[in-house]
Amino acid sequence: MIRYLRAEHLKFKKSFSRKMLLVVPVLVLLFSFFMNPMYTVTNTFNWWSIFFMPLVIALLSGLSHQKEERSIGYNRIFSLPVSLSKVWYAKVIVIAGYTLGMLIFFELILLLFQIVMPIGGQWSNTLLAVGLLWLGTLWQIPFCLWLARKWGLVTALLVNAVGGIGLGTYLAPLPIWWINPWSWAIRMMCPTIGVHPNGVPLAPGDTLWNPAVISIGAPLALVLFALVLLWTGSAFAGVARSSRMQTEVN
């Protein structure tokens, strides 16, 4: 599996994707700070959960697909003596590693801000929020990879953006938030950071402060990630088998 991970990692070498992982956290944090320094933490995590994580995941997935098509093409991969399910899993793991690295980088910048400027928020809370944000959006990686491969980058961006900004924010504050996967990360930010899905800080006594949602959202996110990963990996391997059979017939 290490060979597969190295191969996928090398495909992103000197690419826009890696630069994006450093630029986006800085821009988001600076924009939030200049809008309102006292609400930098709540605003930033709210934007991450609603828009920026779905956007970055869809972009990384779509760019991974485009890079595959433009360089060697899927047909060449299908013809190689490799485990196609492992190729797919490696793509997902590498993107997951990149998003985790991006969030850790963001957390370090945020920590520096908290040391030198009064922007509010406790470091322990933001660290927990980073972990929940990453965990709550993991399932989007294999899903967006599948969307990008089937219908292209634009479709992956539109679906994930609508899912986060539209369905996610609408259902997140409701009792049925758990039925929509895009709502999970958004809802878990409520008790962790103290922010309403609409971006307003939670008032004392608000029911959205209930931390029990974390014990629901986190396991749901892990289960869905495993299911989507296995399903999309199986679908990818199935397409490859069909391609190989067609090549043999021809």
Give CA–CA dist 121/38, Å, rounded.
Answer: 9
Structure tokens at 85: 């399910």
Asked whether the beta carbons of 53 and 130 are under 8 A apart, the reply is no
Q: Across-strand partners of 201?
A: 195
What is the CA 92 to chain-centroid distance, rounded?
11
Q: What is the pLDDT of residue 246?
A: 46
Q: What is the pLDDT of residue 247?
A: 43
Which domain covers residue 126, as residue numbers? 2-249
Give CA–CA dist 241/191, Å, rounded.
Answer: 46
Q: Across-strand partners of 195?
A: 201
What are the pLDDT digits (tens) for 107-156? 999 888 777 766 555 666 889 999 999 999 999 999 999 999 999 999 99
What are the pLDDT digits (tens) for 212-244? 999 999 999 999 999 999 999 998 887 655 554
How many structural domains are present in the chain?
Answer: 1
Q: What is the pLDDT of residue 89?
A: 94
Residue 245 has pLDDT above 60, yes or no: no
Asked whether the beta carbons of 220 and 226 are under 8 A apart, the reply is no
